[in-house]
Chain A
Amino acid sequence: MNNQPAAIEHHHLPIKIMLYPAMLFMLVGMFVGVFMAFNAFIFPDYFAGEYIHFGRIRPVHVWHVLLLWLVSANIGLFYYMVPRLCGRPLWSPNLAYISAAFWWFSLIIGTYSYPTGTNSGWEYAELPLWVGWIPIKLMFVISWLIFAFNIFMTILNRNYQKMYVSLWYVMGVLIWASFTIPVGFFAINWVSQGISRVNTSFFYVHNLVGLIFTPMGLAIAYYFLPKLSNIPIYSHRMSMIGFWSIAFLYAWIGVHHIIHGPVSQWLQTVSIIFSIWLFIPVWTVVGNLFATLEKNWHKYSESAAIRFIMLGNAFYLVTCIQGPLMALRNVNEITSKTDWIISHSHIALYGTFSFFAFAGIYQVIPVITKNSLWSKKLADWHFALNLWGSLLFFFPLLIGGFLQGMMWATWADGGSYAEFHNNFANLSFLHTTAEMRPWWILRGIGGLVILSSGIIFVVNIFNTIILKSEVALREQLA
């Protein structure tokens, strides 16, 4: 990477048209999330109506933060990172524009159509086949395939012989996602009805997390941590072990979403075994990233972006200790179907991969706008508020969810059905829901803090884009 010829003209527009809207949609998504935290849980159904009740709004939140924000931002960062790792400009900026046009068009229309009743009913694949006459799903898939092809061609025609670990992850994402997304979107309707479709759905759901969000985030962390800190990655071999174990393990574990459910026991056992093995890739990644900064922890306090990667890494450790353990039958009995799950998914997708994306954006924006960051102080605030907001968000839900699971388990105390039923008569389902309220309030406050940190972030970044930095201004005035 050191002998990068200065002459390469990198394309910045593909990066910009993915990153800029993504950050704005992140704010919208966070706002919808906070709205739900209050309007569905703390003051349930205060604003009531066909188009704004929880069931119609939830997919709007999920599709904002997952697709309109996280994947879009990651694609933008790929457009930055892959050409630089290949030592050549993006293979075709025009394809990137076409892909982005399809991407934003289909996702925006799809996401904003949910309140009108277009949800297709499969988790993370809610996108409707048609909105009016517009084939939303197909356009989305085409957009992804164009993007994948473009990045793939960039890698094939690269100028550096050696492939850095991030490129491995990138290639993995391209292949896995190009298979997983069509399976979850279309093939699910071709398998036989009932549990076969549920199985396919969870295969898709977990691959989306494990084979798209995870490798995207890790590619970004592996690229931007050395860039931000100027320290080479601790061990290339460890990162390879991580990569191959992810490739080997993730596709097997979808069924762990319905442990104790109506699927074959042997399939549940298979998913549990592979879930436990996930400790391997996680610990290699976590160890590798921490070890990179091992002798230079002072850099942690110098840059908010590095702090984001390190905190994201810590949350990655948390979420990936939870993940395999939650797959164990006895732990699953308590945690499954409670707010523990909601916390777990937020730790992974917000606490880890969104944090990695923040770090990437802090590195990318000054380069592509040729302005230094507008305010380092706001970046520090962004990190600090995210840290506290996340703790307020994640841990109350973990604790509350665990307690609710324990309350449900008390129905099973005793030795006869009469006793079980008596337990249930004394502690109704609605009682256990009511017990959750304090935890939901804390979650709502955490959400507000996170939302305010998001506003700070977006203001800071857009000021960097539009205005000159504080430093530059001061220099001008002096």
Chain B
Amino acid sequence: MSKQPNFFYNIEQSALITFIGIILLFSGAVLITLIAPSQLDPTWTEPTNSYQVQMHEVSDPNLYISSAGALAGLSERQYVYHLKQGYTLLAFQETELTRITASPELQKYITKVEDSNLKLTSRLLLLRTPKIGSEAEKNAEELRKNLQKSWESEQKPAFTILELYDPKQEEAFAVASGDTTIENWVDKEFTLSDDAGQHEYHKDVGVIYVKNPHEYRITRGVFGQEKEWHYDPNGAPVQTLDQLKSHELAFRSRAELISLGEHIVAIEGCWYCHTDQTRTLVQDVVLNGSDSFPAPPSSASEYIYQKITFPGTRRIGPDLSRVAVKRPSRDWHKSHFWSPKTASKGSIMPSFRHFFDDDPRGTSDIHPGIPNYKFEAVFQYLMTKGTRITPPTQAWWLGKDPVKTKEIIEGRKTLQ
């Protein structure tokens, strides 16, 4: 074969056709199976609902969690909301037994017992027990007397009276009432005060809000040889985010924990045995379903906030895509990670004792049962699974699933 200066000349026809043919066929496949779907199917890139978006973008980055706090050596888990003026939506809601007193200027932010609409504000206000000797305390006493007078039965309940006040801060850290897996959500019968609407999410069909926040304060102490700190309404307030995230208090935002949890799922290889998809099969919606309702099949839009997605190819252990609904208990997960074989009989799952600093059953004298940040991260990751596919008011475990899984599987039409 004669040598030519240009080596392309040396490629004779069959090699050239091979080369071009391979590239043409391959790029056709790439175009249709790799590039086209995310352009054609909006569920691949768009979120399912506003609740999912707000959970990931509003709630997760602003809820801080720590297990470093301890009182008398006993670990206390802490959930602290980072409130921002003009951003976080707050509700101050009375119940029969918990009433709120406020200066006339702040009265309009209180949702009274008889109010049908929930009042939300983005003005940064907080609740506290009225200070002894203050104007608020006098008002509170008066209110308490009136309430007890109007109570008909002989036994008078102890009313809790809180004071609504303006801390005049741009941001604050607060404890609040609510489930920490499924946040407070309202999508009908609510009014935003005039100051709200500064942020895009305030204008959504429904909103996540923080209910009855109290300023987060801590007290430091000593237990035996150990320094410790714990939540104390009369302690010193936590001033800055840096302090909250310091080595001592060790708070991490739920967003950080979920992302870390995703990383831990990857490195521990959880995904080799646990799938993360409820397939469009009756057995899958039954496997992941609650006692009364089948789990809706997974849709592509559930995964858009995950850097790594673990659909899985083998189901040695059960599926995880609805685990937050099937197994919401933190204690269950604690005992299960410590010893799967005893926590669920017949399991072949390995134990994950490196998620704990000490035995969670409390056999250690010093720190009974402290799961470390790895456990918290995996737990928070798992708690996103199945709880964010609809707003809580439309939740499938309440039988309100818009996908109508139950009707479909009982009629045996195709699940999609």
Complex: how many Å from CA A247 to CA B26?
A: 7
Minimal beta-carbon separation of A410 from chain B (angstroms): 8
Q: Please state if B272 and A54 are interface contacts (CB–CB under 8 Å).
A: yes
List of A residues within 8 angstroms of B312 by Cβ: 337
Q: Please state if A412 and B32 are interface contacts (CB–CB under 8 Å).
A: no
Q: Please state if A48 and B282 are interface contacts (CB–CB under 8 Å).
A: no
Given contacts A45-B341, A434-B346, contact A262 B302 (CB under 8 A): yes
List of A residues within 8 angstroms of B45 by Cβ: 192, 194, 196
Minimal beta-carbon separation of B181 from chain A (angstroms): 21
Complex: how many Å from CA A192 to CA B35?
A: 11
Q: Which B-chain residue is minimally distant from A180 (CB atoms)?
A: B26
List of A residues within 8 angstroms of B348 by Cβ: 40-41, 44-45, 433
Q: Please state if A417 and B341 are interface contacts (CB–CB under 8 Å).
A: no
Q: Please state if B277 and A261 are interface contacts (CB–CB under 8 Å).
A: yes
Q: Please state if A120 and B313 are interface contacts (CB–CB under 8 Å).
A: no
Report if A94 contacts B (CB, 8 A): no
Mark contacts of A305-339 with chain B using CB atoms, 8 A cut-off: 1 yes-contact digit, 0 otherwise: 00000000000000000000000000001001111
A417 interface neighbour in B281, B293, B351, Cβ under 8 Å: B293
Number of residues of chain A lying within 8 A (CB) of chain B:
85
Q: Which B-chain residue is minimally distant from A424 (CB atoms)?
A: B286
Most buried by A among B19, B314, B348: B348
Report if B323 contacts A (CB, 8 A): no
Q: Please state if A412 and B410 are interface contacts (CB–CB under 8 Å).
A: no
Given contacts A50-B354, A417-B410, contact A121 B310 (CB under 8 A): yes
Q: Please state if B30 and A251 are interface contacts (CB–CB under 8 Å).
A: yes
Complex: how many Å from CA A55 to CA B300?
A: 26
Q: Which B-chain residue is minimally distant from A248 (CB atoms)?
A: B25
Complex: how many Å from CA A248 to CA B18?
A: 12
Complex: how many Å from CA A270 to CA B29?
A: 11
Complex: how many Å from CA A252 to CA B18?
A: 19
Interface residues of B in 306-322 (CB under 8 A from A): 306-318
B267 interface neighbour in A118, A157, A254, Cβ under 8 Å: A118
Complex: how many Å from CA A44 to CA B353?
A: 15
List of A residues within 8 angstroms of B298 by Cβ: 261-262
Given contacts A55-B273, A195-B44, contact A260 B286 (CB under 8 A): no
Most buried by A among B263, B310, B313: B313
List of A residues within 8 angstroms of B107 by Cβ: none
List of A residues within 8 angstroms of B406 by Cβ: 417
Report if B391 contacts A (CB, 8 A): no
Q: Please state if B279 and A261 are interface contacts (CB–CB under 8 Å).
A: yes
Interface residues of B in 276-290 (CB under 8 A from A): 277, 279-284, 286-287, 289
Complex: how many Å from CA A120 to CA B21?
A: 34
Mark contacts of A63-102 with chain B using CB atoms, 8 A cut-off: 1 yes-contact digit, 0 otherwise: 0000000000000000000000000000000000000000
Q: Please state if B344 and A430 are interface contacts (CB–CB under 8 Å).
A: yes
Minimal beta-carbon separation of B264 from chain A (angstroms): 8
Minimal beta-carbon separation of A423 from chain B (angstroms): 7
List of A residues within 8 angstroms of B154 by Cβ: none
Q: Which A-chain residue is minimally distant from B11 (CB atoms)?
A: A156
A121 interface neighbour in B1, B271, B287, B318, Cβ under 8 Å: B271
Q: Which A-chain residue is minimally distant from B315 (CB atoms)?
A: A337
B346 interface neighbour in A54, A194, A433, Cβ under 8 Å: A433
Q: Please state if A59 and B269 are interface contacts (CB–CB under 8 Å).
A: yes
Minimal beta-carbon separation of B272 from chain A (angstroms): 5
List of A residues within 8 angstroms of B307 by Cβ: 189, 193
Q: Please state if A161 and B1 are interface contacts (CB–CB under 8 Å).
A: yes
Report if B195 contacts A (CB, 8 A): no
Given contacts A56-B268, A433-B348, contact A260 B281 (CB under 8 A): yes
Report if A459 contacts B (CB, 8 A): no
Report if A409 contacts B (CB, 8 A): yes
Complex: how many Å from CA A433 to CA B30?
A: 38
List of B residues within 8 angstroms of A179 by Cβ: 26
List of A residues within 8 angstroms of B316 by Cβ: 433
Interface residues of B in 294-353 (CB under 8 A from A): 294, 297-318, 341, 344-353
Interface residues of A in 139-179 (CB under 8 A from B): 155-159, 161, 163, 168, 171-172, 175-176, 179
Q: Please state if A55 and B7 are interface contacts (CB–CB under 8 Å).
A: no
List of B residues within 8 angstroms of A254 by Cβ: 33
Minimal beta-carbon separation of B227 from chain A (angstroms): 28
Q: A163-B18, A175-B22, A421-B291 are in contact. List 13 more A-B contacts (CB 8 A).
A: A48-B353, A53-B351, A59-B269, A175-B23, A192-B44, A193-B303, A194-B301, A203-B33, A263-B37, A267-B37, A411-B282, A423-B286, A424-B289
| Chain B residues near A (Cβ < 8 Å) | 1, 7, 10-12, 14-15, 18-19, 21-23, 25-26, 29-30, 32-34, 37-38, 40-41, 43-45, 262-263, 265-273, 275, 277, 279-284, 286-287, 289, 291-294, 297-318, 341, 344-354, 406, 409-410, 416
The 20 listed contacts between A and B (C-beta, < 8 Å) are: A44-B348, A45-B350, A55-B272, A55-B273, A123-B313, A155-B15, A158-B1, A194-B301, A194-B306, A197-B308, A197-B309, A247-B25, A252-B29, A257-B313, A260-B280, A412-B286, A417-B289, A430-B346, A430-B347, A433-B346
| Nearest 5 pairs of A and B residues by beta carbon | A55-B269, A121-B266, A251-B29, A412-B282, A53-B350
